[in-house]
Structure 1
């Protein structure tokens, strides 16, 4: 076990960072799972895009799609393995049309919610590290500025206790978009948890992306989702 303990220290620079390395830890498991410095989220880019490149421009059909034989889409195409996915439709908004005007189409909006719960101990971290040292936990996410609405993205990250329910610390983000200027770019949301206190055993990561449907389906994409435990406070 001393061999694996030395390997962990060399790999993660634990003692140099002031982290104690008790003998009761399964250091072979820690070394193999490499829980420090890697992304603990599964499938961080479910839509198959990266923030290193500009978001794809929406493709508009010359002829409106025919949905007579199949229902319109309710979510963007993607691989959602590793995520718990839900789609929730929102009520139609009131349209302030002038008297006598005929409203042909009203935009409908929905939220695509993706969430994961990370078991920190199962990922290779040990209780003494989480309770005594309380390493920094860095969260990052990137969303597409899709211009669909003033509110197109929400993020909620919670540090949970051993029961997987008790919230010890929480970070939320609900940005408001500037619709006056077209800026079809990736936007970064990030936060670092530190000094959160003892008892953290799980991380619950949840983000929502707003989609719209008016004749055609338009989505808001996400990528680069990450939760990383640092070898520092």
Structure 2
């Protein structure tokens, strides 16, 4: 129950870079609430999770927690955009069966003095499971984007193939991006990989576009669009992909 909730601090690994002050004012009942996503054996389930402004920029705290169970041979696809709130946070805890797959694509974006983050923990509990996580972060002002991703491979989960890819883009000095990949592996016949990079817009590409008459704001928009598109490559529904991209670019357009 919410009465028993102990508020997180930055001493907690999963909240290392978060805005824990923003949590103090939120409804503690949110910590008790999980959205359960159960994928039957051999089936595919897709969810799109969006934290976005309804109108004016919001200074509330938005927390979404998903508990995913993928049965043997099942596939779960999660696509996430976090673009609102003083603190916007999506947590995913996933447990995978034999031959199950988790696909996670996510984007955090924003400026001002805000924190947007995606936190995942994927447990490969049986053999032959696969997971792929692709997260992109775009921030400016004093905005912070975080990705904390943990992969656990149990001793019997041989032939696991798990990957994480994180890239951060800082549009203005003062913004920050953090990535904390973690691997806990107790099996010896596995493939687990992660990569993380943080940088700024490609100045050569911006110069190339300017030389061909594109205004700076248009060039920046195109470059950001190409940057975040990786997170939605596995989303084969064109309408959903366009909807998520509109949320991302809409936040960027308000900054431009």
TM-based fold match above 0.5: no
> Structure 1 length as normaliser, TM-score?
0.29
Structure with a larger share of its residues in helix: 2
Q: Relative contact order, CA 8 A, sep 6+: which one is greater? A: 1
> Structure 2 length as normaliser, TM-score?
0.27
- Structure label with greater radius of gyration: 1
Structure with a larger share of its residues in strand: 2
